[in-house]
Structures are given as C-alpha cells and as structure tokens.
Structure 1
C-alpha cells in the first residue's frame, strides 16, 4: 500500500501540519496559514493550496496561497476579487474552484492561473464545494441552506446556456439552515450526495433522479461528513464532540436513542468535531476538532490508533530568549519576565483548533521534518504555476475550456504536468494547416487507418460471438432430440 499523509490546518494562524498516517512521523510544518473551513486542498499531489480570510468583515482581504512540498514558505500568493472560503480541485489538478462570500463561484485553470468562469451560484456565501468522482459535476452548499449541482459541460457550453433557464442541474432547498459540508459517492452522475447542515440533519440525495432519498436527524449540529468507501454508512462529526455513524445501505437500527438511522458514535474529542477524512482503503478515519487534537480511528474496531496535536511551536528566537531569561536568579520575581512568560505561553499554546484535515498519497518530494532537503530533491522541485487571475482578461477567453494533455502518471514518478490550453491547440492546428495539404492529408489518413482497424476488430468480434451462439443452439437441439427419442420408441 502506498504511504499516505495527514494534512491539517487551523483558522488561527497555527499553520499547516503534515504527518505520516501509518508511522506518525512528522513532516514539514507550513506556517502563516489561517484557512477557513474547507479552505485547504492538495492539487493532484503536486502542491498545497489554501484560501485565507484574515478579516471576516472585509470584502477585499482574501487570498489563496500555494506551498510546495519541500519548502515551508509560501511561494505563490493570489488575490481574488473577493474573499474565497471553500476551495476544491479536480483529481487531475487541472482546475481550482472557489466559493466567494457573495455567493459567486470562481473557476480557474491551474496551469495558467486564468479565470475561466465566474457565475452567481447562491444568494448568500458559499460554504462548501466538491467535485463528483468523474469530475463532470461540481456540488456547492451555501449559507442560504441550498445545495446545488452544476454541470461543467453546461457551464462552458455557450449554446446550451442560452437555451436553458438555469445553469444548475439540481437545486435542493430542504435544509432550513446553513449547509456545512457536502460529499459525493461513486458512480458519476448516478452517485449519491450527502449534505450536512446546521439544522442538525444530513440528507442523502440521488443524482440520477434529483430526489431526496433519506433524512437523518442527529442530536447535534453536524459540521463534517465522510462516506464509507462501500457506502454502507457515513460518519458525521458533531458539535457535541462525537462522530456519529449513520446508515446508508446498512440495516436500520430500531433501538437507537438518536433515531432509526444512527448506528452509533465515536466519542473522544472534548470539543466540536470540525473535519473528517478517510484513508484510501477506508479502514482508517481521521478526525479534527476544536480541541486541537487529530485522532486516527480504526473503523473496524472503532478504536483510536494514533493521536496528533496541531500546535504552533515556539520559534528558535523565542526559545533562545526564554532559556537566557530563565538562567537569571530570582527571574520569576522579575515583572518583565513574568509578562514575557505569559507572552511565551500564548505563543506556545498547547494547540490551535483544527478545521481542515485531509488524507493524501505522500509526494516523493516531501521529506521528514528531521531530515533537511537534499540537493537532489531541490533539483527535482517543481516550479509552481502562476498566481490566479483576479478578473478575466476578456469575455472571449471565458468561452474556452482548458484541457490537460500528456500529464505523467503519478505512480511512475514525479509529476511533470504539461498543460496546454485550447488556444494553444488551435494555434497548432492553424500551423498544421499552413504547412500544406500534404500534412493535413497524412493526419486524415492516419485517422482513417485507425478507424478501419477498429472496424475490422469489431467485425471479427461479432463474427466470433455469432459462431458461438450458432454452435450453442445446435448443441441444444441435438441434446433435445437425444432425450426425446427413447420416449417415442416406448410409445
């Protein structure tokens, strides 16, 4: 099994922490990060991205930061047109979607930083975003209590947009309060959606039918959800400090005190559970809480197997000063020392609240905190993409959909992503056409040869199936004749 890491962040500028999921070894700690809920993501394992909202009352104080895996400093800073809270990235790392406090959704191309689309999605601030497993749909939740499903094909199709009345595929209004989290299952457009809200319910929706399948009522507000990979149940992190286990396809418990769909709970956190994530095999569940603790649970035994503390450690400067002051005799009676001691205790508070956790495959460039980056790892470091655009340069650019071409498989080594936009592809086509009809004819000939080869293979396949079916029917008829002949002879 490939090694996985836990990544956690805090809203109180306690930075981003990374640990090995299986061994517990700590990796680089990223400082100067105060991410909002759902404001942290790994961009296809190439680098980390986080939204920042320094002043909740300001409409222009937001940013999006990039970190590489082998440096603890922010490398790229972007300043969108408004503060962005939730961000989400598709699995290939081609696009980043962000939800604004105005209710708008922003859609950027990672390779160029271009703002491809912006549309008004909700009447109030967007609180959570998620792509479905085939990356064709974007699901959003907002403070208006609404969950909406957006087809990216429709968003980027100018003709269909003019013909349709609404940009969204579905709009679910059954939640009465702010939506806190959304998660999707497997199955593309036939999957399920699970949404959580401050109305103390989680609702299960069908993407294929656009209907509510199940309404689960909890004893506390739910801020985070995580689906079991088999989709028999889902986990719901509550403000009562418990992780509630609710049934999806599992048998319903009629004896539960918390409702027929709640199967049980995991209770070790002293404060609200704010975020949940699962390992790739689904056997480990990671929970983060306002108590600053991150716990790893074995979902089979429901026991804790590891605990992490998300703390903002003492800097080298403060630790040296602290040791020097402590050497003075009767330093505890010195008023300036006592004030500095209080300051140090605040800086080195045991832990900051955790509001984001995720589990991802360990990148090759990520080194343990105890070992410094080697020269070879520094040479292998990838150049991060440019900052995200604040505004679209022109209306025409928004009509183009960008694509990913020729990205290497992450399992084969370091990802050297080669992104090419539609404009670049069109330039290549024009260049090909300018070379003359010979080059174009060669392209057409190669395409026709491939089509012919596929047709011949399909004909052979159908011929084989026909011969097998014919032989089967003949054998069945002969067998019937053999079994019936003795009966007629006896008569």
Structure 2
C-alpha cells in the first residue's frame, strides 16, 4: 500500500467540485466553481479543452462510453450534453426545479440520467431532439446525492437516508433504508455491494441484492461544506474515503481497519475523488488543486 504522489496541478477554476476519469482513464474532467468543465491530461496536467456554458457552479460531469461526449450538471438547474472535440453544447436541458447534484450515462450513453436537489431523478433520450424526460423518478424525500447506473439498474442515494434501486427491465423499485443521510456512493467491481458514505462519518457496505449492511468503515472526518466521496480500489481489496484536513483514508475491505492515511495538499477537505478504471491510480481534488496518486511499481 505504498502510494505516492505522481502529479499535481491547479485547474485554475476556483474550488473543484468534482473530478472524474473518462472511460479508459487517459483523461479526466474537473468541475469548478468558475462554471466550467475542463478536460485534462492527468499525466502532464495539460488542460486540453474548456467547456463554458453553465450559469453557475458545475457539480458533476461524466464522459460517454466512446469519450466523444460529456454530460455535466450544474447548480443552475441544467444539464448540458457537450461535443468533446468542438467544445460546443449539443443539448441544454432544464427540466429540474433544483440544482443538479449528479449525472450519469447508461452503458451505451444513449440515456442521460440526472439527480437534483428537487428530490428527483430524471432520464433523457439524449440522442433525440426532445428536451423532456422519458422518465422521472420522484420517490426520494430529500436531495438526490449520487447515482450509479448498471446494465439493468439505476441506483440513487438521498439525504433521506435511503438507497433506491430501480430495476429498469421489470419496472420494480427496491429501497434500502440506511436511516442516516447518504452523501455519496460507490459500487464494487463485481456489482454485488454498494458503499454508502453517510453524514455520521461512516461508510456502510450493503449487499446489493439483499440490502443488509455487511460492515462499516469509520475513521475519516466529515465536513458540512463538502460531500465526502468514497471508492473501491482495483480488485476490491481496499476502500478509500476523503476526509477533512486533507487526508485520504484507506481501509481494508474485509477487516474494515485503517491501513493507510495519505496526506493530500495543504490540509483542505478532500472535495472529490475518483479511482482509475483499470489500474492502481487515483485522483483527489482539494481546494483548487487536483493530485494524481499511484501505487509504487514495487508494490504492484
């Protein structure tokens, strides 16, 4: 578990709200308080393109399955579907009545899914000209905080303390009541378990099918100003979590004990993190800076 700092760069967009790898991990997207999304090479820190059209802070973004398009969601209540090469918006959708908190694509990037402060999840046929949702999911009683989309499920978390599983094949809803406001989620590589980062400074591992809580991870410090994101490292051996004061906590997946503390940046809260899709590399956002950490060669 000897991770080391590989690169760091200032995105020059104020506070970073989210940082995300693209589908193959060769590039990353940063979302900033300056209302922009930036496409960056994480190895060099080179900014490749900037996407500007939102009217307020950008809270989340994701790349399509072929890296040709970007979906972003903003505090201005809109989601924008971008052309990566031209940098121009293809669709601007504004059907939510609250700020957008999270966005995702389905597997083939034909459907865009957004979660909002208006307590709803909306789905859009992004390839059609219609700007109206093809489905609106209104079961949450509080703000939607995160989305995970698998081949047959839309999974949402909410500040009402519930994880909701929408089976889009059979049209069924299953709810797991955690009871504590959930601020972020992650899914294991085998799609069998969900990590729910909660406001009581714990991460709960839940079984996706049965819904029971399998274990809890405690040791990170929460923040009232930022949601504390979590992730699962390659091979599902370790769980990582952001924390206040610039720390990233690494937990053993099975034992739930802390095995490593990584000190990131100058002590700011870790506002976002993302695990590389295929290798032992991670992105962390803290304040205005993004850092790239990777496992030392001798430990691979």
Scaled by the length of structure 1, the TM-score of the pair is 0.52
**Pick aligned residue for 2:6 from 27, 37, 58:** 27
Aligned to 1:97: 71
Are the aligned partners of 1:69 and 1:363 in contact in 2 as well (CA < 8 Å)?
A: no
Tell me the SS of whatever aligns to 1:25. strand
Are the aligned partners of 2:234 and 2:279 in contact in 1 as well (CA < 8 Å)?
A: no
Q: Which runs of 5+ in 1 are unaligned?
A: 1-21, 55-61, 253-260, 313-350, 370-491
CA RMSD of aligned residues (A): 2.6
Aligned to 1:123: 97
Structure with the bigger percentage of helix? 1
Pairs within 5 Å for 1:304-315: 304-312=258-266
Aligned to 1:303: 257
Aligned to 1:354: 270
Scaled by the length of structure 2, the TM-score of the pair is 0.81
Structure with the bigger percentage of strand? 2
Determine the C-alpha separation between the residues in 1 that align with 2:257 and 2:110: 37
Does residue 178 of structure 1 match 2:143? yes
Give the superposition deviation at 1:231.
3.3
Determine the C-alpha separation between the residues in 1 that align with 2:16 and 2:172: 30
Decide whether aligned partners of structure 1 residues 157 and 271 sit closer, same or farther in structure 2, where only a CA change above 3 A counts: closer
Decide whether aligned partners of structure 1 residues 193 and 157 sit closer, same or farther in structure 2, where only a CA change above 3 A counts: closer
Aligned to 2:169: 208
Pairs within 5 Å for 1:56-455: 62-72=35-45, 74=47, 76-83=49-56, 84-152=58-126, 156-158=127-129, 161=130, 167-185=132-150, 187=151, 191-218=152-179, 220-250=180-210, 261-272=212-223, 274-312=228-266, 351-360=267-276, 361=278
Determine the C-alpha separation between the residues in 2 that align with 1:240 and 1:30: 31
Give the superposition deviation at 1:205.
1.5
Number of corresponding residues: 276
Rg larger in structure: 1
Decide whether aligned partners of structure 1 residues 271 and 85 sit closer, same or farther in structure 2, where only a CA change above 3 A counts: closer
Determine the C-alpha separation between the residues in 1 that align with 2:254 and 2:235: 12
Q: Which runs of 5+ in 2 are unaligned?
A: 282-291, 294-300
Determine the C-alpha separation between the residues in 2 that align with 1:210 and 1:292: 42
Give the superposition deviation at 1:70.
4.2
Deviations 1:274-328 (A, max 9, x none): 101223432322211234221222323323332212223xxxxxxxxxxxxxxxx
Which runs of 4 or more aligned residues in structure 1 lie more than 6 Å from their structure 2 counterparts after TM superposition?
A: none
